A = this chain, B = another copy of it.
Amino acid sequence: MISSEEINDFLALEFPQINGEYEILELSSENITIFNRISSKHLRPGGTVSGPSMFALADVAFYIAILANIGTNKSVLTTSCNIDFLRKPLQINLIAKPQIIKLGKSLIVGDVFIYSEGMNEPVSRANFTYSYN
C-alpha cells in the first residue's frame, strides 16, 4: 500500500484544479478517510451541500482508495456510479469513507459513505465501478 504523501504528491501534480479542496486524514489497509473543505461554491440554496459536490467527493475518495491499492502508474477510469442522497447535509465540511469490496483483474467495485463532519448517519452513499489496466 502506498503512503498518503505519495498520493497527495500525485494528485497535486495530476489534478491541480482540486488542490487544497480534499485532504487525506487517514490511510491504512483498514480505513481511509478523506476530508472535503466546504466553501460557497459547494452550496445550494437552503444551506445544503450540492449533489454534484458530494458526487465529486465520492469519486475522489474512491480514486484515492484505488491508488492506495494498485499504485499510481495504471490507467484508471470511472465506469459507473450509483449514488443515494440520504439526508440533507449541513453547511459544514464533509468526510468520505471509501471501501473496496472487489479488486478484480480489470474492474474494481466498492462503496463510499459520506458524512457531515462529526455526524454518525451518512448523508449519502455511492457505489462505484472503476476499470483499470
Contacts and interface: CB of A to CB of B under 8 A. Distances in A.
A87 B103 CA distance: 11
Copies of this chain assembled into the complex: 4
A28 interface: no
Contact of A82 (B52, B82, B101): B82
Given A56-B52, A125-B101, A81 B82 contact: yes
Interface of A: 14-15, 17, 40-41, 43-45, 51-52, 55-56, 59, 77-88, 101-102, 106-107, 109, 121-122, 125, 127, 129, 131
Given A17-B40, A55-B55, 5 more contacts: A17-B43, A52-B52, A52-B55, A81-B81, A129-B129
